[in-house]
Structure 1
Amino acid sequence: MTEFGEILKAIGEFGRFQKWLVLLMCIPNFLTPFHMFGQVFIVRDVPHYCNTSWIRALSPNLTTKQELNLTLPRKPDGSFEDCSMYTPVQEDIESIRKYGLNATEKCQDGWVYPSQPKPTLLTEFNLVCDRKNLNDISQSIYMGGLLAGALVFGPLSDRIGSRWMILLTLLLMGSFGVGAGFAPNFYIYVALRFIVGAAFAGISISMAALSSEWVGASYRAVAQIITHCCNALGQMALAGLAYAIRDWRLYQIVGSAPVFALFFYIWVLPNSARWLLTKGKIKEAQKVLQKAASINKRTVPEELLNQLAPEKKVKSGNILDIFKMPHLRKMTLIMAWVWFADSFVYYGVSLHVGNFGLDIYMTQLVFGAVEIPSRASCIFLLQWLGRKKCQAAWLLLGGIVCLLIPAIPKDFPVIVTVLAVIGKSALAASFSTSYVFSSEVFPTVVRQTSLGLCSMSARVAGILSPLVGLLDMYHPAIPMVLFGSTALIAGILCFFLPETRNKDLQDNTAKSSSKQGSMKAVNTSFKNGPVEQKEDGQTVESVKSTHL
């Protein structure tokens, strides 16, 4: 019997069909940064002070300068306090001018933002002073949505297929993203963003699985990384969009609405032929394979398609299947930590783009631009050095850079920014490598469930990442030391993973033979359907993977 990789060679491993599929995957990847990093721009810190209009009841003719001088205490540098005011009194204005006010308290009647002409999330919902932490908390809740999406949509995608999952999650991301622009209060906004985050996780998992299952072994890295480069282009476009649209509600709508233009996916997005085979849907698999061959201007022999046969005992993989087998358990735990490190460090740097002392829009543009060469280089490096070495190298580089940043004096912000850019580009490349590596290292029957687990680990890191910055109150070096050490540990663990370069995807959960150089040697020894094996003198029936 022929392996699935052989029929991919017959229809074309990376022909016009696969290129169109990659292009379709690029469009959502271009749009997702508007949701992932957009809040950095709509919650920018702006000058503010307490609303002290109470004094105008005593003297309505006061100028703004007079009002502030009478009602606001000053900092040591002479500027007005942001979060405190003098306690209102019932005395006449002349007494206040003569003797002044002494007692202070927190802002009671809101804040005034003198230099902000357009409404932002910060100014509309007063995310300042005691409410300032709500920004970081809301980012963690959004990451919590990604965690929930990974937990729910990963296994669900294994059941209903990548195609329908992508369509469903695109609809959710667009609908609730636009809805967030009409949120009447901050808490509803956060709840809607949670759902957007869950949808984003489902899109990421399903697109990674669909693109990897339709291309040949030597083209998987190309397919995945091209879509990731489009994500970097989206980050660059984000800088321009955020610069042009300062009204947060309009930004939310404009950044989310383009997803609805992808409604045509319902007619052009294919199902995974591999997934159809694992579900025993032979006729549908034959149909989609013939369509792919036709688009690639290839002809698949009828007798080859007729060899497709469903498994007699087929069921979706689940989490228990992954942890029953030692080799799968080890790979899953290591890859989960790798994804955790990727997310922990990547978002730890990305979400603090405004803390480097340079123009936030220019910094975001640079952050997006440097990811393109770092991600694109993976196309060649993954084929040259292999998946395992590249994954380890990117993580080790990112970890070392993070450990160097605290050692640089604050008087050299440019050096700190350069190191941050290097670290972010290294972790971006590591993220791309993780998607390729994970898609190849797990069997088809549990691939999307495994990717869901890895994505779930990454989302836990995403939840923690915005909150780690709060630890700098104890020592400013703590956050970067945590980021750096996490990446270093992940880089070392990568050396315990198998190499998957130029190997066909494995369909079942059996351990591949270490003596054979590829999965092909393992899979060709299998037969379709139940196979009888002798174990301790007894006949045991087992189910092997589906092949052509």
Structure 2
Amino acid sequence: MHFDELLGILGEFGPYQKYVYILVCLPSIIVAFHMVNSVFLLGIPKHRCKLPNYPNDTYLTQGPAHDDLVRAYIPTELDVDNELVYKECFIFSVPLSGNATTGTEQQCSAWVYDKTVYENTFASELNLICDKQIWVSNAKMVYFAGVFVGALLLGVLSDKIGRKKTMILSVLGLLASSLAVSWAADFYLFCVLRFVVGFSSAGLFMSTFVHGMEMVGPSKRLWAGIVIHYFIALGMVLQCLVGYLIREWKYNAIIVSAPAALMLSYWWLFPESPRWLINRGNLEDAKVIIRKMAIRNKVEITEKQLDSLECDETATGQLWHLFTSRVLFVRTLVIFVNWCVVSMVYYGLSLNSGNLAGDFYLNFFLTGLVEFPAYTLCLVLLDRTGRKKLLCACMVLGGLACICTIFTVLYVEKRHQMYTTVILAMLGKIGAAAAYAVIYVWSAELYPTVVRNVGMGASSSCARIGGIVSPYIFDLSTIVDGRFEQALPFVVFGVSSVLAGLLSLILPETLGANLPETIEDGKNFPHHKKSTKYLEKEPSFTCNNEAFTAEDSTKL
């Protein structure tokens, strides 16, 4: 008897699995904290140069005398709306007096920051502005690089030592590194610690996500795989609340790090995955957990049924098998492109909500809130409209919403821009969030069984690349002038999303089809016959017959 057959007796999603699933979902809130916390740790407030020999210097003006003094020292320029603004990085070497223009501009070395949004950030504390502003994007990139490495290494570790141990090790690493960030004294130490935070976050979410998928029956995996992302959205909303109440970056970092300590209790509350134990040959420990599951689910299980449990021996393939035919080659590249673009747009819109017009905290709150209807849309429509139509619609409509920001910036009055631009950006975020859920399910169904794990792992790597690139897309606004600078990043996101969505039409629909098992099935899909053989030359056997395992990618 295989474990999925046993779940038919125990219940595919009984009370015991619901208990475990709740425990599985809670760490996602903590992961979401660190996923978007760079918005508050590395935010760049409005700023101008400090005035020499001027006491009680503040960003806000203090009457006409103060205004005149500021204008005497700091060069001004007209923005695209012909409003006079201070240059943020330059000061006159000699203050101007009256109509004199003898002062020359030079870059200043000390700044005054607006404390309307942040009391203090790591970026303002180290003056990562002007010619050092790229350092902020580098620091954001380092986090996603940590996620990339963590997904690869901790995925292997999870298969070796188990989901539970990997989760606890990830919690310890996350707790130590995220708390240490609060005491980071220089940029390079900050980046090292944020890399570890990303590394540990990948292990925490991945191990719990996979555990939850392995505890439920086949008919519940789609539901379980999407609902957990509601907790990611909840984490973003709660992070907004913390950021609004705690505006000092060090205290903010401590507040969002401390809850990870509660996850250490999972050593006693959280069972190991019985499916993993069975596949590792540890039947006795698996039987203990299964008996508890039977008691909680109020079903009877006999010792004969327990003794009949066996490991599935399934052939596994290599990544290069996906490139052995033109059909598989094209499909694999299309899947990779969609993963990369979806991740780039999702994180780009999430981490740069502060660049939108209007209230900073309201915009950030909305970026988390709109994910709830996005995932609900997937639950309602995924098995009704099919994967292809839903993914293409989400990518194209979300991309068009982002592209349309160029028209609001260029042609809509400034007083109305904050509403139209934010609405369009939120529609783009809904499309990206929904597409993320769909592409995960669809690509897992498109890859043949023998290469599903390695295919999903490669797709995850492409998603991480999209996250790494996303901070630099918004830096494109610094290379153009005028109104277009605000819209350029959204246009890049939008065009990429539309092209990737249209490209997905090349892929076949999987709804209601027998999923491919062999490479030959994959070549002929969806017109293949259900196969009972694997590759002509079978690679080494492994004890894993799951569509979702520790090497599967997850959204961080």
Q: After superposition, what is the alpha-carbon deviation per residue over 1:233-260, rounded to whole angstroms, capped at 9, x for unaligned? A: 1111122111100110000000111011
Q: Which amino acid aligns with 2:77?
A: K
Query: More displaced, 357-366 or 214-223?
Result: 214-223
1:9 CA displacement: 1.1
Q: Which amino acid aligns with 1:173?
A: L
CA distance in structure 2 between the partners assigned to 1:72 and 1:21 by the alignment: 60
CA distance in structure 1 between the partners assigned to 2:456 and 2:523 by the alignment: 23
Matching of residue 86 in structure 1 with residue 92 in structure 2: yes
CA distance in structure 2 between the partners assigned to 1:541 and 1:239 by the alignment: 49
Matching of residue 183 in structure 1 with residue 184 in structure 2: yes
Partner of 1:379: 379
Aligned residue for 1:368, secondary structure, equals helix
Q: After superposition, what is the alpha-carbon deviation per residue over 1:122-145, rounded to whole angstroms, capped at 9, x for unaligned? A: 321112222222222211222222
Aligned residue for 1:300, secondary structure, equals coil
Matching of residue 260 in structure 1 with residue 261 in structure 2: yes
Partner of 1:72: 74
Listed as ranges, the gaps of 5+ residues in structure 1 are: 57-62, 90-94
Distance change (3 Å), C-alpha of 1:366 and 1:515: closer
Q: What is the count of residue pairs matched by the alignment?
A: 522
CA distance in structure 2 between the partners assigned to 1:30 and 1:401 by the alignment: 28
Partner of 1:92: none
Identity %: 31
1:495 CA displacement: 4.6
Partner of 2:236: 235
Distance change (3 Å), C-alpha of 1:173 and 1:111: same
Query: More displaced, 478-487 or 346-355?
Result: 478-487
TM-score, length-scaled by structure 1: 0.82
Query: More displaced, 473-482 or 123-132?
Result: 473-482
Distance change (3 Å), C-alpha of 1:405 and 1:102: closer
Distance change (3 Å), C-alpha of 1:256 and 1:403: same
Partner of 2:165: 164
Counterparts of residues 445-456 of structure 1 (less than 5 Å): 449-456=454-461
Partner of 2:497: 487
1:204 CA displacement: 3.2
Aligned residue for 2:77, secondary structure, equals coil
CA distance in structure 1 between the partners assigned to 2:224 and 2:465 by the alignment: 27
Contact 1:374 1:426 in 2 (8 A): yes
1:319 CA displacement: 4.8
Contact 2:314 2:545 in 1 (8 A): no
Partner of 2:106: 105
Q: After superposition, what is the alpha-carbon deviation per residue over 1:32-73, rounded to whole angstroms, capped at 9, x for unaligned? A: 2221222223444434332343589xxxxxx96676455333
Q: Which amino acid aligns with 2:91?
A: M
1:22 CA displacement: 1.9
1:96 CA displacement: 7.6
Cα RMSD (Å): 3.9
Q: After superposition, what is the alpha-carbon deviation per residue over 1:425-474, rounded to whole angstroms, capped at 9, x for unaligned? A: 12111222334445555578866554432222111111111112233435
Contact 1:286 1:305 in 2 (8 A): yes
Distance change (3 Å), C-alpha of 1:13 and 1:113: same
Distance change (3 Å), C-alpha of 1:408 and 1:24: same
Partner of 1:418: 423
Aligned residue for 1:75, secondary structure, equals strand
CA distance in structure 1 between the partners assigned to 2:12 and 2:369 by the alignment: 30
TM-score, length-scaled by structure 2: 0.81
Contact 1:87 1:101 in 2 (8 A): no
1:18 CA displacement: 1.8
Distance change (3 Å), C-alpha of 1:545 and 1:105: closer
CA distance in structure 1 between the partners assigned to 2:166 and 2:446 by the alignment: 22
1:101 CA displacement: 5.2
1:217 CA displacement: 2.3
Counterparts of residues 22-421 of structure 1 (less than 5 Å): 22-53=21-52, 68=70, 70-76=72-78, 77-87=83-93, 102-108=103-109, 110-113=110-113, 115=115, 118-310=119-311, 319=319, 332-410=332-410, 411=412, 412-413=416-417, 414-421=419-426
Distance change (3 Å), C-alpha of 1:154 and 1:509: farther
Q: Which amino acid aligns with 2:40?
A: F
Listed as ranges, the gaps of 5+ residues in structure 2 are: 56-64, 547-556
Q: Which amino acid aligns with 2:403?
A: L
Partner of 2:550: none
Contact 1:507 1:546 in 2 (8 A): no
**445, 463, 469: which is aligned to 1:458?**
463
| Greater C-alpha radius of gyration | 1
Q: After superposition, what is the alpha-carbon deviation per residue over 1:73-132, rounded to whole angstroms, capped at 9, x for unaligned? A: 33345544321122269xxxxx98997851221113x22336568322232111222222
Distance change (3 Å), C-alpha of 1:271 and 1:223: same
CA distance in structure 2 between the partners assigned to 1:255 and 1:541 by the alignment: 45
1:361 CA displacement: 0.8
Q: Which amino acid aligns with 2:199?
A: A
Distance change (3 Å), C-alpha of 1:316 and 1:154: farther
Distance change (3 Å), C-alpha of 1:30 and 1:223: same
